[in-house]
Amino acid sequence: MTTLAPPAVRVQEPTTAKGGRSGSVVWMAIPALLMFVAFGIIPLLGVIALSFTTWDGIGDIHPSGLDSWTAALKDPGLPHAIWVTFEIMFISWLVQTPISIMIGVFLAATKKYRGFLAVLYFIPLLLSSAAISITYKALLDPNFGLGAGFGVDWLKQDWLGDSKLAIGVLIFVVSWQYIPFHSLIYQGAVRQIPTSMYEASMIDGAGRVRQFFSITLPQIKYTIITSSTLMVVGSLTFFDLIYVLTGGGPGDSTRALALEMYQKGFMANLMGPASCIAVILVLSGVVLAQLLRRLGGRGDESMQEGV
Amino acid sequence: MATVSVSGTPAPTRRRSPLAKLLRLNLFGGALGWVWLFIVMIPIYWIVITSFKTQANYFITNTFAPPSDPTFANYKEVIDNEIVRYFLNSVIVTVGAIVPAVLISFMAAYAIIRGIGNRFLRLTNSMFLMGLAIPLQAVIIPVYLIIIRLKLYDTLLAIVLPSIAFAIPLSVLVLSNFIRDVPKELFESMRMDGATEWGTLWRLAFPLTRPALVTVTIYNALGIWNGFLLPLVLTQSPDQRTIPLALVNFQGQFGVNTPAIAASVTLTTIPIVLLYAIGRRQLLSGLTAGFGK
């Protein structure tokens, strides 16, 4: 019986794979493929093409060689926008990661409140960035907001009127929105660590701190890579939040790449240079994702889970 | 103390700072968990109570005190400002994008799993995987160009089409992971019974992947409902406004009338919270299973 079964399966597999049958499923992939090519792949190639043209967004598109690239790269706004983007990216990663891991470890260990906390933690993810920004804008009002409410003078600052503070506010709001989500990811990862590992280390006399650094952290290594990839690549595309909360200001102090691209393209009608910024955005995302993948030392799997 | 051999890490001795020893880690994490809950809840609590205050009341009472004289006037004002229309627009865009998106993603995922070995399908799959890395922001200019060339500018369909496309990669990934887990024997017995692939898709794969379908639907629906960039770039007239864009407009229009702004935010959030309440279990388990490996 057992000797018969495997060959029977093996004979059938190639027929399903190469025979007429697979031909009958191919068409099912066509609608999704067409939609994705039309509004994903073609625009991706299009943005590269448009970066070598001059276009005001309304009239005709003129090929203009490297003109747009020269204009984009000469603009002092670009290095500034890159700097702002990476500043927000790095600091928000630095703030979110340890807090998320801590909360995730805690959530994984407590059965009692886990469900309750998970439900409430998810709420920020339900809200649109527009709604969140509007709420914080009102809440950070120096006269009627947080500071007045708690009666703490330190909170009564002109949060969105000072360049340094405005960046800080953005990082805080990003953390507010995403820490719960990353905590839940870590929580899931920590729960998959076999308890026998902790039991064995307990017999050997390892304390909690030791367990955390010797078991928990190494075991959730890939999750850290996944979560960091989401944070880092995601932060390249912060647009709604900055657009509504600070509008890039005060001055240009919070004008990150995505906003810089929007303003160049749709406000100043310089679609060519704006496309160059978009290409830079795509390249940064790909490079960063690859770097993090290398760091993880695992093939494309972590990348697949990562997004 | 051969403790760490169990964990498989090569470095057996770790520097332990006395401070770290003092902080019982679990306790610390626990405190952090509750503190963070407090931080998460403050703005939500504030926006809800403020929406029931009169404007005068808002300026004289403590920001965090509940309204002394609750009023629905702010909600009435928001409803009088065409919120129903914006709401319907958002419903049309979300439903109009999510139904075809999940359907065609499901078909593609099924084809990719059932047609393993087919070179065309393998190529399609890797294209979708690559698509995961394409941010919508980066391709918005060509999308805008395509939409004006299709003469769809300032219509809801202009938001729907790119929304479908950008929901596909993640949906296919999650759904194909689920279909892969369906035992091969089940497909085989369907085939023996003379079922076509189309029939197997609906009668076998569809019911078995329902949790994943719910996860993918809610996740993408949230993204589309809350989407800001596509409506901002691809529409213009107030008739075509979706909720997030309308909120930003209210903010300008209501000015210092913070309670009215609060009411607009609260009112537009209720449907998402309801949706979340219905599909919560599946969404949470689906997401943690998908990401936390």
Q: Do B229 and A239 touch (CB under 8 A)?
A: yes
Choosing among A15, A51, A128, A304, which should be mutated to test the B contact, i.e. which has the most B CBs within 10 A? Answer: A128
Choosing among A120, A122, A134, A202, which should be mutated to test the B contact, i.e. which has the most B CBs within 10 A? Answer: A134
pLDDT value, residue B7: 38
Other C-beta atoms lying within 10 Å of the C-beta of residue B156 = 20
For residue A57, the surrounding DSSP H or E stretch is: none
Quick: pLDDT tens for B243-260. Answer: 999 999 888 888 778 888
Strands (E), A56-111: 62-63
Nearest residue of B to residue A280 by CA position? B138
Q: Do A205 and B104 touch (CB under 8 A)?
A: no
pLDDT band at B166 (very low <50, low <70, confident <90, very high): very high
Q: Do A307 and B104 touch (CB under 8 A)?
A: no
Q: Where are the domains of chain B?
A: 27-71, 78-291
pLDDT value, residue B282: 67
Average pLDDT, chain B: 83
Q: Do B273 and A123 touch (CB under 8 A)?
A: yes
Q: Do A36 and B131 touch (CB under 8 A)?
A: yes
Q: Give a yes or no: residue A22 inside a domain.
A: no
Nearest Cα neighbor of A98 from A179, A172, A174, A167 is A179
Q: Do A126 and B107 touch (CB under 8 A)?
A: no
CATH class of B78-291: mainly alpha
pLDDT value, residue B21: 41
CATH at A110: 1.10.3720.10
The minimum CA-CA distance between A163 and chain B, rounded to whole Å, is 22
Does residue A156 sit in helix, strand or coil? coil
pLDDT band at A164 (very low <50, low <70, confident <90, very high): confident
pLDDT value, residue A51: 93
Tokens coding B290: 């998908």
Give the mean pLDDT of B154-172: 94
Tokens coding B219: 């996740």
Count of structural domains within chain A = 1
Q: Do B291 and A185 touch (CB under 8 A)?
A: yes
Considering only CB atoms, A123 lies closest to which of B30, B44, B293, namely B44
Quick: pLDDT tens for A237-265. Answer: 889 999 999 988 788 889 999 999 999 99
Considering only CB atoms, A188 lies closest to which of B108, B170, B288, namely B288
Choosing among A85, A107, A190, A209, which should be mutated to test the B contact, i.e. which has the most B CBs within 10 A? Answer: A209
Give the mean pLDDT of B230-252: 91
The angle formed by the CA atoms of residues A6, A8 and A11, to the nearest 5 degrees, is: 110
pLDDT value, residue B74: 85
Q: Give a yes or no: residue A152 inside a domain.
A: yes
Q: Which residues contact B144 (CB under 8 A, 6 or more apart)?
A: A57, A266, B233, B234
Quick: pLDDT tens for A93-146. Answer: 999 999 999 888 888 876 667 777 777 888 888 889 999 999 998 888 877 777
Specify which residues A53 forms β-bridges with: A63
